[in-house]
């Protein structure tokens, strides 16, 4: 298992409450608590240094999973505890406890590890500065298993208020931290070769958008790591859809529907050629190379000709909200873009090119006006005035006056400039 995936971070924007909530491994100096495992004697040697449970147990054997919960704050806190089974998100990452998975997301499943995890209580209150050891237990299935089963424990402080107060009417930033600790178990350490399959690709409407849905499955009782999936779909009249995603990870015996989005493009009726390649087990000495010449140990491909009927194409188009939005707003977008460009050009002309009238007034040593002249100048079209050695600029905005080698450069940013002649 990829150790970097043992603690997950998930961010969710809660528009209804105008709060940004982020879950993950709590490491900020402002956190109220921390959760650290006590390594059990059944922990496999290769995972002894990592912050998650990876144990080797006999069928039916029970092991305690101790976690030290420390209150770092100056007030009592209550921590909620949950358990879960590891699944694979639609984005290709392993989630251990924070999601309820439908049964269809698992295949060739040996056992639900969550059924064997016992929580003595679902919450615990800890006093300031104290450490409480929470002791969940894991009981292995009575029947021997092949490879691994995986799940996890999560620890969440109630009523977290790590908020950055918003100014004015802006959003408040509220960080909600969850410690999610993986629990992986096996009966033995016999090596298992991870196996991925691509079972089907079909056009469908997902979340109001048209996509080609690819059924990706890890059919092995072990983790499939560093997975790259590359899909290329061509259709009638030169239509082309492509998606590639790297560094995915699949939990044991889990599957996902991975999408090649049409992104609002029309999916016409006709014949389509679908080609999907999956690579996993990144290894510099691997046998297989993807399009970027990255080496992998394992590879599978899927090539299919599929037909989309006129009725199916119409049904997809009718339900594609993004395509309708693009089509309906396209003229408005063009008008808005043209208007913005016009405003920008007018602004540039007004501030840079448009010449403004500037009055030059010459004063004697007693500040009496002896001469007056009106000139026009802009930021790009200057008006230069040569000054004698006994002349100086006074009573004008000095930040907008430029003198160079006794030459006054007028650029239209001031209305009146006074030039005084000093007594000799």
Write out the two tokens for 125.
């209150």
Q: Does 97 reside within a domain?
A: yes
Backbone angles phi, psi at 364, to 5 degrees: -90, -175
For residue 176, give the nearest of 4, 30, 15 by alpha carbon: 30
For the cut 60, the answer to whether the pLDDT of residue 324 exceeds it is no
CATH number at residue 280: 2.60.40
Residues 58, 74: one domain? yes
- Cβ contact 117:181 at 8 Å: no
Q: Does 77 reside within a domain?
A: yes
Write out the two tokens for 40.
């059990």
Q: Does 12 reside within a domain?
A: yes
Q: What is the pLDDT of residue 46?
A: 87
Radius of gyration of the chain (CA): 34
For residue 278, give the nearest of 254, 308, 258, 253 by alpha carbon: 258
The count of domains in the chain is 4
- Cβ contact 197:161 at 8 Å: no
- Cβ contact 264:322 at 8 Å: yes
Residues 97, 228: one domain? no
Pick left, alpha or beta for residue 105 (phi over 0 → left; psi -120 to 50 → alpha; otherwise beta): alpha
Q: Does 112 reside within a domain?
A: yes
Write out the two tokens for 420.
């005084």
Residues 77, 202: one domain? no
Residues 361, 345: one domain? no
Pick left, alpha or beta for residue 332 (phi over 0 → left; psi -120 to 50 → alpha; otherwise beta): alpha
Residues 222, 270: one domain? yes
| Domain extent for 333 | 320-350
For the cut 80, the answer to whether the pLDDT of residue 264 exceeds it is no
Q: Does 116 reside within a domain?
A: yes
Q: Which residue has the higher pLDDT, 172 or 66?
A: 66
CATH number at residue 155: 2.60.40.10
Residues 112, 29: one domain? yes
Q: Does 412 reside within a domain?
A: yes
Residues 255, 128: one domain? no
- Give start and end residues of each alpha helix (H) in 65-134: 113-116
Mean pLDDT of the chain: 82
Give the side-chain half-sphere CA count within 13 A for 11: 6
Helix (H) or strand (E) holding 327: helix 321-348
Q: Cα–Cα distance between 10 and 24 in angstroms, integer?
A: 6
Q: What is the pLDDT of residue 374?
A: 76
Residues 366, 248: one domain? no
Residues 132, 10: one domain? yes
Q: Does 191 reside within a domain?
A: no
Residues 221, 234: one domain? yes
CA geometry: angle 234, 244, 182, nearest 5 deg: 140
Residues 112, 200: one domain? no
Express each pLDDT in 98-154 by its tens digit: 788 988 899 888 999 999 999 999 999 999 999 999 999 999 999 999 999 999 999
CATH number at residue 369: 3.10.20.320
Q: How many CB atoms lie within 10 A of CB 370?
A: 11
The domain boundary residue, chosen from 186, 213, 237: 186
Express each pLDDT in 341-392 by its tens digit: 888 888 777 666 777 777 777 777 766 666 677 777 777 777 788 888 778 7
């Amino acid at each position: 298992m990829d150790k970097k995936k043992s603690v997950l971070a998930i961010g969710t924007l809660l528009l209804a409450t105008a709060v940004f909530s982020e879950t993950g491994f709590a490491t900020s100096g402002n956190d109220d608590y921390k959760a650290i495992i006590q390594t059990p004697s059944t922990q496999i040697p290769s995972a002894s240094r990592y912050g998650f449970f990876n144990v080797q147990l006999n069928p039916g054997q029970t092991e305690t999973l101790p976690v030290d919960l420390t209150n770092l704050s100056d007030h009592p806190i209550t921590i909620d505890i949950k358990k879960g089974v590891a699944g694979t998100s639609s984005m290709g990452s392993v989630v251990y406890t924070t999601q309820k998975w439908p049964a269809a997301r698992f295949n060739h499943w040996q056992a639900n590890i969550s059924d064997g995890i016992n929580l003595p209580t679902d919450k615990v209150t800890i006093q300031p500065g104290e450490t409480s050891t929470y002791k969940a237990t894991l009981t292995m299935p009575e029947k021997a298993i092949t490879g691994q089963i995986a799940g996890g424990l999560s620890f969440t402080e109630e009523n977290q208020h790590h908020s950055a107060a918003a100014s004015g009417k802006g959003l408040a930033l509220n960080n909600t931290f969850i410690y999610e600790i993986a629990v992986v178990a096996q009966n033995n350490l016999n090596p298992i070769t991870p196996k991925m399959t691509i079972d089907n690709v079909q056009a469908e409407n997902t979340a109001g958008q048209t996509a080609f849905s690819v059924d990706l499955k890890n059919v092995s009782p072990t983790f499939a790591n560093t997975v790259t999936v590359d899909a290329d779909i061509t259709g009638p009249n030169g239509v082309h859809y492509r998606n590639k995603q790297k560094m995915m990870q699949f939990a044991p015996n889990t599957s996902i529907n991975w999408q090649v989005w049409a992104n609002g493009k029309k999916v016409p009726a006709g014949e389509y050629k679908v080609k999907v390649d999956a690579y996993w087990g990144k290894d510099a000495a691997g046998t297989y190379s993807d399009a970027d010449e990255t080496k992998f140990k394992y590879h599978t491909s899927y090539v299919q000709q599929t037909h989309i009927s006129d009725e199916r194409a119409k049904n997809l188009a009718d339900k594609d909200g993004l395509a309708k939005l693009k089509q309906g707003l396209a003229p408005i977008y063009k008008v808005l873009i043209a208007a913005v460009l016009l405003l920008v050009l007018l602004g540039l002309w007004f501030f840079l090119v448009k010449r403004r009238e500037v009055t030059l007034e010459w004063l004697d040593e007693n500040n009496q006006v002896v001469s007056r002249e009106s000139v026009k100048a802009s930021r790009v079209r200057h008006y230069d005035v040569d000054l004698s050695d006994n002349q100086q600029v006074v009573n004008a905005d000095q930040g907008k006056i430029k003198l160079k080698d006794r030459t006054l450069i007028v650029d239209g940013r001031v209305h009146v400039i006074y030039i005084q002649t000093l007594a000799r």
